[in-house]
Structure 1
Amino acid sequence: MARIPLLGSLPAPVRWAAPPAVLLGGLGLLLGGWTGSGSDRVTPPVPKADQAGYCAALGRALPQTVLGHPRADPSPASPYTAAWSSSPRTVLRCGVARPEYLNRDMSATAPEINDVQWGMGPDGSGGYRFVTTLRKVYVEVTVPKGAYPNYADPLSSLTDAIKATIPEGF
């Protein structure tokens, strides 16, 4: 077996401690990636005062799983955000500002799912952002590329909660 000259020149206690330290460091990086340190941050929206109650009610009514993926809310915790651990994960934000892409002709690309009308636009990474329309509050759902076989699949899991808590209207 070949010897690494640098390790041979180190004192024995250092040589013995080096492999466990490297393994523990690698394990720490791996676990840090799984817990999403830094990467799971979502900026919570700040809904208008008359919308905040609707959003808080929606947060309580949302399902604990979406298509078999458990709810894993983002950091920082907010009653206006929710996420599910699809890979990559699906994120919902309630009380967002009206997105610019709703100003375009949406008739060709706006799906209606379970009596909830959605506008949609690209998320900039190959996935989509959906936003409810014709409701008192805009609810945004980001579905990243590759999270589901069909990009609109998770919306049907969310529409019952939206219909029950966010009234129709402007």
Structure 2
Amino acid sequence: MRSRELLNRLPAPVRWLAPPAVLLSCTALLAFVWSGDPDVKPPTPEAQVAQYCEALDAKLPADVLGHPRKDPSPASPYTAAWASSPRTVLTCGGDRPDYMSAFDRKGPCIDEVSWGMDKDGEGGYWFATGLRKAYVEVHVPAGAYTNYADPLSSYTEAIRSAIPTINGTADSDCFGDGA
């Protein structure tokens, strides 16, 4: 009862505006807390790899199969994303993914770009380029596209033009299987 008495002593305009002000403050706080993308940490590549990734970032498409580009925050030339939920995330310049070492993790070769792949454990897939001077990794979550590999062809032209192959080797043979 004591708090009710204190509230009643306040002028009427203050009593009427207090609940909306508190609600607005809570909403602003939640928006601030949720504004970042803690699950997308940009890689920190070495200088030469960073140049390749910056060139790639400038060439990546604004739209992938009807999904607009909406990059994670903080903005970085080493991360890109398309759609909002579920979103496809591309990173450039990270370390070689562990799954690239497994022979059974060989993925598709699309437009002369070879990919390693692995399941993400939630119905989606991880893809990473092979035989290039910078690793490009793409996470395609479950439900983002009808076929999990569909978005890869949207990135191949940018990858081929921005990131050279290792020692000038041809990437078109997809890890030597001739496909």
The TM-score, its normalising length taken from structure 2, stands at 0.75
1:138 aligns with 2:135: yes
Q: Give, in angstroms, the shift of residue 122 of structure 1.
A: 2.2
Amino acid at match of 1:131: A
Using the TM superposition, name which of 39-48 and 89-98 deviates more: 39-48
**How many aligned positions are there?**
163
Aligned to 1:70: 68
Alignment of 1:102-141 (within 5 A): 102-106=100-104, 109-141=106-138
Q: Give, in angstroms, the shift of residue 55 of structure 1.
A: 0.8
Counterpart Cα distance in 2 of 1:163 and 1:106:
24
Amino acid at match of 1:153: D
Q: Secondary structure at the match of 1:110?
A: strand
Amino acid at match of 2:97: P
State the 4+ residue runs in structure 1 displaced beyond 6 angstroms.
none
Name the % identity: 61
In structure 2, relative to structure 1, the CA distance for the partners of 1:43 and 1:94 (3 Å cut) is: same
Counterpart Cα distance in 2 of 1:153 and 1:20:
46
Q: Give, in angstroms, the shift of residue 106 of structure 1.
A: 3.6
C-alpha RMSD of the superposition:
2.9
Q: Give, in angstroms, the shift of residue 22 of structure 1.
A: 7.0
Q: Give, in angstroms, the shift of residue 126 of structure 1.
A: 2.7
Counterpart Cα distance in 2 of 1:17 and 1:113:
60
Which of 95, 98, 101 aligns to 1:100? It is 98
Structure 2 unaligned runs (5+)?
168-179
Structure 1 unaligned runs (5+)?
1-7
In structure 2, relative to structure 1, the CA distance for the partners of 1:105 and 1:41 (3 Å cut) is: closer
Amino acid at match of 1:80: Y
The TM-score, its normalising length taken from structure 1, stands at 0.78
Which of 133, 139, 153 aligns to 2:150? It is 153
Counterpart Cα distance in 2 of 1:78 and 1:38:
13
Contact kept in structure 2, 1:40 and 1:74, CA below 8 Å: no
Counterpart Cα distance in 1 of 2:80 and 2:94:
13
Contact kept in structure 1, 2:37 and 2:72, CA below 8 Å: no
Amino acid at match of 2:90: L
Q: Give, in angstroms, the shift of residue 129 of structure 1.
A: 1.1
Q: Secondary structure at the match of 1:111?
A: strand
Counterpart Cα distance in 2 of 1:49 and 1:27:
41
Aligned to 2:170: none
